[in-house]
A and B are shown apart, each in its own frame.
Chain A
């Protein structure tokens, strides 16, 4: 999956520009890739491939524009390409995209029961449990939450990266948050942190 460095021919200026602008974003890319793949080596491969593409196309980046958004766009496209290259994953992605249409905001509550004390409850889950719940979400919903809530990008930037309108990002964010709680809900009940009658999930 990783391109060979022998294909790269860089001028010192291109290389210096890459080191100055792109390398400082490595943590953001690696974190996002880690939450996407939940697999350390796979995440590193994904980010390495992303960075090689960034190196190759560094001249297309306009200095002064958002480098993080530019790199995350490359990361997302690289990730989608990798999924599509795997027929099984591509089929799953197609099903996800078909089964999770964009619904209006006011239907967001359909996906998850409201919790009476959500903040305290969410604090009881470990980071890995939250990450695992993120993993269970459909691809586009997961990407939306990673950009908007984890990396805290504004709606316009997230929309540009995801190549969808801002309204879609907004509705996906609300639905995604509900779906994340829904994914965690059985675990909370199983541990006795929440009773069935405490929520309106009937």
Chain B
């Protein structure tokens, strides 16, 4: 026996045996259910106590004044300087929106989506109708420190996200420029996720999903404002 080889062979044998422990099945079902429930509970608005119910109008008024002042300051400081919507951050947003599941508000029509968004966002940009895709859910996100409306769609089995913001807040990042029916689109791709950006009637729009650029452009062209 070669004494020098024995410790190495012993080492490798232990390594291989321990590696097998890493392949043993683990039952995660119970804990996963609890964690999903905990997450869902944590994003739900808590029920207010009676004391808080009394003070709510007062605090709401104070908060409203604070919000109006803050919004005014923000508008004054930002002026008309929209930020360039980052494709990388939009890709992260798409991933988040696609995985929201039960936390997003399910919708059946654009009118319903606009109504829901208006409840939490005064002067929200109106969502366009999307005839070619199936409506799924909507929500409002904080994106690059500004609000943006997100519409989760499905093109067959593929999730698509349409984000709509104010053109005074966002502008298209320059990418591959495509002209269709008199409108300019900027195409981007991040890790296989394609996105088309455009501006229309004071709104910034970006449609994204793991489909071809042509398919995205076709859906984008069918948007009804």
Contact = CB atoms under 8 A, between A and B. Distances in A.
Contacts of A6: 46
Contact of B35 (A23, A35, A112): A23
B42 interface: yes
A51 B93 CA distance: 22
A122 B13 contact: yes
Nearest to B6: A114
B13 A118 contact: yes
Contact of A149 (B6, B18, B92): B18
Interface stretch (A24-32, A94-102, A187-195): A24-32
A63 B96 CA distance: 12
Given A31-B26, A47-B31, A177 B11 contact: yes
B222 interface: no
Contacts of A112: 10
A109 B6 CA distance: 10
B14 A118 contact: yes
Contacts of B20: 127
Interface stretch (B50-58, B79-87, B99-107): B99-107
Interface string B118-151: 0000000000000000000001011000000000
A198 B68 CA distance: 83
Contacts of A27: 26, 28
A7 to B, nearest CB: 9
B96 A13 contact: yes
A17 B96 contact: yes
B208 to A, nearest CB: 15
A112 B7 CA distance: 9
A152 B20 CA distance: 10
A92 interface: no
Contacts of A17: 92, 95-96, 99
A162 interface: no
Nearest to B30: A44
B42 A174 contact: no
A177 B12 CA distance: 9
A145 to B, nearest CB: 6
A5 B41 contact: yes
Contact of B42 (A9, A119, A123, A178): A9
B31 A26 contact: yes
Interface string B36-68: 101111110010000000000000000000000
A118 B21 contact: no
Interface in A25-60: 26-27, 30-31, 34-35, 44, 47-48, 51-52, 55
Nearest to B92: A63
A15 B41 CA distance: 10
B101 A19 contact: yes
Contact of B21 (A12, A47, A130, A177): A130
B103 A150 contact: no
Interface in A116-171: 116, 118-119, 121-123, 125, 127, 130-131, 134, 145, 149-152
Contacts of B104: 12
B141 A180 contact: no
8 contacts: A10-B43, A12-B100, A12-B103, A15-B39, A19-B36, A114-B7, A130-B17, A149-B18
Given A10-B39, A15-B100, 18 more contacts: A5-B38, A5-B41, A8-B38, A9-B42, A10-B43, A11-B43, A15-B42, A17-B99, A19-B36, A19-B101, A20-B98, A23-B36, A26-B31, A119-B12, A122-B17, A145-B18, A149-B14, A174-B11
Interface of B: 1, 3, 6-7, 9-22, 24, 26, 28, 30-32, 34-36, 38-43, 46, 92-93, 95-101, 103-104, 139, 141-142
The 4 closest A-B pairs by CB, nearest first: A118-B13, A149-B18, A114-B6, A8-B42
